[in-house]
Amino acid sequence: MKKEKRLVYVANIPIRWGDMDAMGHVNNTVYFRFMEQARIEWYTELGRVREQGVIEAVLASVHCTFFRPLHYPGMVEVRTYAGSPGRSSFEISQEIRRTDDPDTIYAAGGARVVWVDHQTGKSVPIPEEVRALIV
């Protein structure tokens, strides 16, 4: 049974010249940076990034599947979806597209996000105001 996911955020991020590698396309590590930027923008929009950049969620795992290479210049659109939450964690799925080619998915990935208490380092329940936004 496939879990439901909900579109929660869309980020537009420029492809920089320095994002390319010796092969002439965007380096695979940069895709993870695109997904990270979109996640952090979403957390910021939710008001979950505290002073000194402390975020209440940590990544338990990340993944990415590459379908087509990206090239400079251009803008990527990262669509972020949240899956059904558990007690302290939920899945994020993300699609990377070019803004000038929005029907093509260039890469798809995601992460398992765990809510933590930064004092103890232990998982805690997802805050109800966040849970309400992702169900």
How many domains is the chain partitioned into structurally? 1
pTM to 2 decimals?
0.90
The residue range of the domain holding 23 is: 5-134
- What DSSP string runs through the chain? -PPPEEEEEEEEEEEPGGGB-TTSSB-HHHHHHHHHHHHHHHHHHTT-B-GGG-BSEEEEEEEEEE-S---SSEEEEEEEEEE---SSEEEEEEEEEETTBTT--SEEEEEEEEEEETTTTEE-PPPHHHHHHH-
**Domain CATH code at residue 112:** 3.10.129.10
Amino acid 135: pLDDT: 74
Q: What percentage of the chain carries pLDDT values higher than 70? A: 93
Q: Encode pLDDT of 80-132 as tens digits.
A: 999 889 999 999 999 999 999 999 999 999 999 999 988 888 999 998 888 88
